[in-house]
């Protein structure tokens, strides 16, 4: 047993932070190119550069078999009709799976296979647990009107691959339709935006 490792931390489930750990904030400008509605993105950026989400992690153990975990808080809001969300990523070590546990708020996890053909939208809310299989792009989305807080637990060697998402993004979006979240193909949503622009 390696008792030198960090064995205990405390989570603030409302703030969505692990106490004593540094918090890193992702602002709207950090998510450039990820929201479908570019005009809405530019307008929101002009009005300020709001924090979209924050994370704080415990990533000190890095031996074979070790785990990392991180807390997240996604603020409520939308860019156009698309809800505030994380950048999303694959794991750099592709087969690495992850477990998410929700603490507060109403969220969903968008899970996609690498070719974008398989897609799942899984609820993430208080007391729910989501299993993210390996080789799966995952993005967390706040569809509610209060902060969404959660933790994710993953192999220490998982790492993050944001590059693939920056290049081709997710093939689907989660957008508000008649006050409710709806999963749509990105290309269909982009067509809707273009049509509305012409009107």
Residues 87-116 that bind ligand F6R (CB under 6 A): 87-89, 98
Of 17, 36, 70, 174, the one binding ligand F6R by CB under 6 A? 70
- The C-alpha atoms of residue 107 and residue 72 are separated, in whole angstroms, by 12
Q: Are strands 78-79 and 17-18 parallel, antiparallel or unpaired?
A: unpaired
C-alpha torsion sign, points 38, 40, 43, 49: negative
The least distance separating ligand F6R from the CB of residue 146, rounded to whole angstroms, comes to: 17
The first and second tokens of residue 16, run together, are 């969505």
Stretch near Zn ion under the rule CB under 5 A, chosen from 32-40, 67-75, 95-103, 116-124: 95-103
Task: Number of residues interacting with ligand F6R: please give it, by CB under 6 A.
Answer: 14
Closest CA to 87 of 64, 48, 118, 55: 55
Q: In what order do the strands lie in the sheet with 129-132?
A: 24-27, 51-58, 67-74, 148-155, 98-104, 129-132
Select the binding partner of residue 55 from Zn ion, ligand F6R, none (C-beta < 5 to 8 A, by kind).
ligand F6R
By the rule CB under 5 A, 112 interacts with Zn ion: no
Stretch near Zn ion under the rule CB under 5 A, chosen from 22-30, 40-48, 69-77, 98-106: 98-106
* CA trace torsion 9, 131, 167, 57 (10° rounding): 0
Site string for ligand F6R, 123-152 (x = CB under 6 A): ---------------x-x-----------x
Select the binding partner of residue 106 from ligand F6R, Zn ion, none (C-beta < 5 to 8 A, by kind).
none
Q: Are 10 and 36 in contact (CB under 8 A)?
A: no
Of 55, 104, 142, 169, the one binding ligand F6R by CB under 6 A? 55
- The C-alpha atoms of residue 161 and residue 132 are separated, in whole angstroms, by 15
Residues 9-68 that bind Zn ion (CB under 5 A): none
Of 98, 105, 141, 172, the one binding Zn ion by CB under 5 A? 98
Q: Classify residue 177 as left (phi > 0), alpha (psi -120 to 50) or beta.
A: beta
Report the interface residues with ligand F6R, using CB under 6 A: 55, 70, 72, 86-89, 98, 138, 140, 152, 154, 158, 160
Report the interface residues with Zn ion, using CB under 5 A: 98
């Amino acid at each position: 047993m390696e008792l030198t490792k960090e064995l205990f931390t405390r989570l603030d489930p409302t703030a969505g932070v692990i106490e004593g750990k540094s918090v890193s904030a992702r602002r709207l400008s950090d998510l450039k190119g990820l929201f479908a509605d570019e005009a809405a993105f530019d307008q929101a950026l002009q009005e300020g550069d709001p924090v979209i989400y924050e994370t704080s992690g415990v990533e000190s153990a890095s031996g074979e078999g070790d785990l990392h975990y991180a807390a997240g808080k996604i603020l409520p809001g939308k860019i156009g009709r698309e809800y505030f969300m994380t950048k999303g990523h694959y794991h750099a070590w592709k087969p690495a799976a992850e477990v998410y546990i929700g603490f507060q708020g109403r969220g969903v996890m968008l899970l996609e296979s690498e070719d974008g053909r398989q897609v799942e939208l899984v609820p993430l809310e208080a007391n729910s647990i989501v299993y993210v299989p390996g080789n799966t792009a995952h993005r967390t989305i706040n569809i509610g009107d209060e902060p969404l807080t959660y933790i994710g637990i993953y192999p220490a060697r998982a790492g993050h691959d944001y590059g693939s998402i920056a290049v081709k993004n997710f093939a689907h979006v989660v957008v508000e339709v008649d006050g409710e979240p709806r999963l749509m193909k990105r290309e269909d949503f982009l067509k809707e935006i273009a049509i509305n622009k012409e009107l």
